[in-house]
Chain A
Amino acid sequence: MFELPSGAEIQSIISILKSGLGFFIPEIYLSILFMGLIILDLALKGRNKSGILGWATLIGLGGSFYFIAQQHAMQAGEHFFGMYVLDEYAIFFKYFFVASGMFAVVATLADRKFDAEVKSIGEYYALVVAMVIGMVMMAAASDLLMIFLAMELVSLSAYILSGYFKRDARSSEAALKYLVYGAVSSGLMLYGFSLIYGMTAETNILKISMELADHGYDPLVMILATLLIMAGFGYKIGAFPFHFWSPDVYEGAPTPITAYLSVASKAAGFALLLRFFYIAVPHGVSPYEDILGIDWLTLLVIMSVASMIYGNVVAIWQKNVKRLLAYSSIAHAGYLLLGVIVMDEIGTQAVLFYLLSYFLMNYAAFYVVVLISNRTGSETLDDYRGLGSKMPLAGAALTVFLISLVGLPPTVGFIGKLMIFSALLSKGALYIWLALIGVLTSVISLYYYMLIPLNMFLRESLEPNEKSLNPGFLAQLMMAVLMILTIWFGLFFEPLSEFARYSSAMFGLSLY
């Protein structure tokens, strides 16, 4: 029979929870924001509702920076009985996801398609915030249960958001495919978790690590568990061969959500991947050695190489800009995986830096795509013809962002790739060929990325009307700022790389 614990025990539990609360303020704030937005949606009436909601979301998300910034002063540690961990790594991603959420809102405010397609925008912003909460928790979760719940929260919000244009068949199709695919992946991952639990009887990843190190493990089960968990994580990061959902979903979803998914959701997957495999899985003396008795690095290497090659090669064939960017995001997942393969501080730093650069350039590229589709109503490559003279700033900005995505100097994307490759090379000759594949596939990516500026600047428009299209002052300013930032951080990237280095510290990491 269950016996109620003594009063003292209960008191201690309560005090632990209370103390944990102090480390949990940004998440609480975001949850309140989430619910507040739902209520605001119900309370508001009138024409400017969607604008007010958007700005409220933007300001609300911005407010959370204050609470996140205060966490820098706090001690790294586990809270809520090992459910939640606070460390520099988690704080980095909190900033990252809140900023992504804000950017998604900005892109949504710019996107005219919402006015035509969507009747009620209230749920939309609430779900964007819910997704931020889920992603923040993904980066901060240190328990299998929390990981699963956080991932489900992200996925669920994402399903609905990607199908937000209900009357658009493509959007609905995207949502449905996403749902089916995501459910299968979650199921597989859960299966992997259960195998790990079966071997260790623990759900906390630190304790799992200790158990595995102390009691040993059966390599075959570990392989199976690792593979199944990779299916879940791979789906989130959109790496080959778990990427199949992404082109369809990215194409069908509203463009701001495409950007949101391709940056934030992917980053959340990487946050989780790094933490899980660095902490939960005990490592040999050096990363070169087979970990767990299997060289699971091979798994990552195959995924990474296949993603780089597949993403870049298939992107060549795409006629739709969103779809093209979707395939390129698969390739970027491959580059990021290269940083994971390095398996040390430099690699983590490189991954974090690459994510920052990817955040900037990919969001910015999608933002321009939104602006262009506002004017032309289309996202196909052919409709980009001659846009360079009609929207010169948008054309120039998009070109800069694409150059950055290719990874050419003097842009931030170049530095990101450079850091990944140099992190790889720092591991010695073993990884040179990986870096080489990375460079070669980047060259391929040059081809299809440059198709867009090619169409915009060097091909004549199919329609002869030469009137220029003005995206509006705020949008112009935004593009100019993003363009300058892309180049600025390409030249003076010390603050970013320092931030990434500072943030690569994970709680409980015994790897280095």
Chain B
Amino acid sequence: MHSLIQLSIAVLLLPLLSFVILIFFNRRLPRRGDFIGVGILGATFGLSAYIFWTVIVQHYDPAFRVAWDFTWIDFGNVPGVGPLVIKMGIVIDNLTAIMLAMVTLISFLVHLYSTGYMKGDKHYGRFFAYLGIFTFSMLGIVLADNLFAIYIFWELVGLSSYLLIGFFFEKESAADAQKKAFLANRVGDIGMWLGILILYSQFHTFSYHEIFGHLAAGEFGMSHAWLTAAGILLFMGCVGKSAQFPLHVWLPDAMEGPTPVSALIHAATMVAAGVYFVARIFVLLTPEALYVISFVGAFTAFMAATIAITQHDIKRVLAYSTVSQLGYMVLGLGVGAYSAAIFHLVTHAFFKACLFLGSGAIIHAMHHEQDMRWMGGLRKNMPWTFVTFSVATLALAGLPLSSGFMSKDAILAGAIGFAQAEGGGIYYLVPFLGFISALMTAFYMGRQIWLVFFGESRTHLKPAAPDDHHAAHAHDDGHEGEHHAVHEVAWNMRLPLVILAALSIFVVYSPDPLDGGKGWFMHMIQTPATVVGETVHAEPALHMEAGESLAAGEGHEVVPGHGAAQMHAETHTEGHTFADPRQAEIGHLSHAAHNQAIMISSIMVALGIVLALVFYVFRLIDPDKTAKAIRPLYLLSFNKWYWDEIYNATVIKGSLGIARLLSWFDANIVDGVVNGVATLTRKFAFANGSFDRYAVDGMVNFTAFFVNTSGAFMKKLQTGKVQTYVVMVILALFGYFVYYFTQLVY
């Protein structure tokens, strides 16, 4: 076994150890065991950093790959299915090494930060335990070498996310958000599982490597459309987990969880798992699937950005911006800007974690005030938070010299290249939406910075709504003496902010602030060659196109296609080579569009900032009046495009209707059958009440109710009298005999 593999197993299991220790013994340990969580995560990060160093710095090889697996279950030859062997294993390549370092670092920082933020919470120890199991599952996703394992860990992160969203389960909104997240993720996971099964049915293996190998060898027995379907179904997992349209609704609500959790899970790592997964399976996605992915991503990026503009809650703005940025990443993968998307994933993880932790610091300092309308002027009171928050904001907005600038521009350049390669038309919508979103990103982040840090404190302006007051009072019980005094947070919350802000600066990734392509990152992560090349060519239009461009490549100056690949390799010493003509063409065109993208996006960002200044700093235009002037648009944005209402009217109402139907069925038929028992009616009334609440609950309750009542009936057989038992046996034997007898006679 390679020593890296051994290390990575340790990295995987250490957080689990933290979970096990803390979940059982946190009450016994001093400080509820938080030092164990932080310490173990620190060690985990140390090991990951060593792996990162070995893989990225020492080897510095784009094709680096170490894998190890073992047979987990061997069913032998199962008739009807064929040989059924489930393997488990670990694969370490550049992507894994980078993700490992990123996940463990952020997790470690969040652990550290939580020692301050969660201090005094009733379930302080349990919180760290949950963080431990989350980190374990996330590392499992990163390390897994097959679809089966990733699915297991996928569900595990879902579970830990569920636990952490509902951490303040006494709050009803938290409990609701928890359920919403769970259900939305289930929808995506079902699709993902179906996709896995399609692939499994063809190749009898779950391993990425083997599946890609089989695909590359052209062994996919079904039609091209099935492969596209498999790709889109797998992408559904990403839609759920990475909160893409139309399953994005859960992520903003998930902000009900503690803020460190929002930073770790719902901004930096777990939601990026969807993007990571699509990157893993990138090579098997057909162009058709990629179209779907790019449009979903572009639309999500745009829609979420419009919503973020009008939100008041500081965390909600960040949540929608997360959705928007995830849309960018998905868009990037869809257009084939693979390395750019991964790059953005990593840079986004750092600056968004920084933003969330910063907002956590603000909320902490403001005594749980989350509404930006009642903040203001915090830059004087919280200088550290202000500086780090601003750096991260610049990165998010995509200003030059920041990490976000490089990654976002790479994606947008890819989008332009994609649109050109596909021949324009509708495909220009993708870069267009991307640029518009960039503008809006700059705008809403400018708005946020201004509202939070500049101007005068507006705490006193807050209308004293009775429930607000009550809540604030309840929270502030402990701080009666220092009421409304806003202080900078302690070092254990400041340090993570500084580290994360430092990681949002360009030098970490590339020496040239204008071109991420010159950095180590883009060198290490290169677009893998697609394995669906042969099947792709079964599609005539694209084949023609590829052929044409190939033919054109010989005669003309502008050389797309294969020629482009060669030329590309000649002109750029980084040596990006593409086996597939389509990828080559996109790659080349995006490279050509690099400067163009920088220009447009800089203009967009500048425009966004200027707009923010105009609205909020110089107050040349009154935002409220503007909102009134374009009221329908404002309401559309403010109400999050009414997605919740739409789902309410369709999916939820529909399910409730079914639930009522079931309830009626239960009331009139089941009860009629089993009637006469007085207790039954009472139980039924109880069951009936819960039916109305949720369709899912209703179904479950129906089953439970049925099982329960039948159990109650069967229980009666156990009279406690041995005579009865004997009679039962004789009766059973007699019954069997009569059954066989009638079979024999007839």
Contact = CB atoms under 8 A, between A and B. Distances in A.
A244 B711 contact: no
B78 A426 contact: yes
A227 B718 contact: no
B722 A180 contact: yes
A129 interface: no
B606 to A, nearest CB: 54
A242 interface: yes
A310 interface: yes
Contacts of A314: 711, 714-715, 718
A220 B744 contact: yes
Nearest to A293: B744
Nearest to A248: B720
Interface residues of A, number: 50
> Among A235, A302, A313, A425, which residue has the most Cβ atoms of chain B within 10 A?
A313
Contacts of A427: 79
Contacts of A317: 708, 711-712, 715
A368 interface: no
A185 B712 CA distance: 27
Interface string B706-746: 01101110110110101011101101110011011101100
Nearest to B27: A389
Given A294-B743, A418-B73, A181 B737 contact: no
A245 B14 CA distance: 48
A105 interface: no
A436 B720 CA distance: 32
Contact of A223 (B73, B80, B724, B737): B737
B722 A227 contact: no
B78 A184 contact: no
Nearest to B745: A220
Contacts, number: 96
B79 A428 contact: yes
B729 A241 contact: yes
A163 interface: no
A252 to B, nearest CB: 11
Contacts of A181: 722, 725-726
A316 B739 CA distance: 31
B718 A180 contact: no
A451 interface: no
A418 B743 CA distance: 34
Contacts of B722: 176-177, 180-181, 245
Nearest to A491: B72
B201 to A, nearest CB: 15
B75 interface: yes
Contacts of B28: 392
Interface of B: 24-25, 27-28, 72-75, 78-81, 84, 704, 707-708, 710-712, 714-715, 717-718, 720, 722, 724-726, 728-729, 731-733, 736-737, 739-741, 743-744
26 contacts: A181-B725, A184-B726, A219-B744, A220-B741, A227-B733, A241-B728, A241-B732, A244-B717, A244-B718, A244-B728, A293-B744, A295-B743, A302-B736, A314-B715, A314-B718, A317-B711, A389-B27, A392-B25, A392-B28, A395-B24, A422-B75, A425-B81, A427-B79, A429-B80, A444-B707, A494-B74
Given A223-B737, A241-B729, A298-B739, 14 more contacts: A184-B726, A227-B737, A231-B733, A244-B725, A247-B718, A313-B707, A316-B707, A317-B711, A317-B712, A317-B715, A418-B73, A422-B75, A425-B78, A425-B81
Interface of A: 176-177, 180-181, 184-185, 188, 219-220, 223-224, 227-228, 231, 235, 241-242, 244-245, 247-248, 293-295, 298-299, 302, 310, 313-314, 316-317, 389, 392-393, 395-396, 415, 418, 422, 425-429, 444, 447, 491, 493-494
**Which 9 residue pairs spanning A and B have beta carbons closest together?**
A244-B725, A241-B732, A313-B711, A177-B722, A223-B740, A392-B24, A180-B722, A184-B726, A316-B711
